[in-house]
Amino acid sequence: MNTITAAITAVGGYVPDFVLSNKVLETMVETNDEWITTRTGIKERRILKDADKGTSYLAIKAAQDLIAKANIDPLEIDMIIMATATPDMMVASTGVYVATEIGATNAFAYDLQAACSSFLYGMSTAAAYVQSGRYKKVLLIGADKMSSIVDYTDRATCIIFGDGAGAVLFEPNYEGLGLQDEYLRSDGVGRDFLKIPAGGSLIPPSEETVKNRQHNIMQDGKTVFKYAVTNMADASELILQRNNLTNQDVDWLVPHQANKRIIDATAGRLELEDSKVLVNIERYGNTTSGTLPLVLADFEDKFKKGDNIIFAAFGGGFTWGSIYLKWAYDKK
Q: Which residues contact 128 (CB under 8 A, 6 or more apart)?
A: 6
E strands of 211-282, at which residues?
A: 218-219, 252-255
- Judged by DSSP in three states, 33 sits in helix
> Distance between CA atoms of 174 and 176, rounded to whole angstroms?
6
- Cβ atoms 292, 166 nearer than 8 A: yes
Catalytic: which of 22, 173, 231, 256? 256
> Distance between CA atoms of 2 and 131, rounded to whole angstroms?
11
Report, in angstroms and rounded to the nearest whole number, the Rg of the chain calculated over CA atoms: 19
Q: Is 286 a catalytic residue?
A: yes
Q: Is 212 a catalytic residue?
A: no
Catalytic: which of 116, 158, 173, 231? 116
Sort strands 319-326 and 308-315 into parallel, antiparallel or unpaired.
antiparallel
Other beta carbons within 10 Å of 2: 9
Q: What are the two backbone dihedrals, phi and then psi, of residue 317, each rounded to the nearest 5 degrees?
A: 135, -55
In the beta sheet, which residues pair with residue 173?
Answer: 5
Q: Is 71 a catalytic residue?
A: no
Sort strands 18-21 and 44-47 into parallel, antiparallel or unpaired.
antiparallel
Angle, vertex CA 5, rays to CA 81 and CA 104, nearest 5: 30
Catalytic: which of 22, 173, 216, 286? 286
- Cβ atoms 136, 171 nearer than 8 A: yes
CA atoms 143, 145, 150, 155: torsion sign: positive
Give catalytic residues, as residue numbers: 116, 256, 286
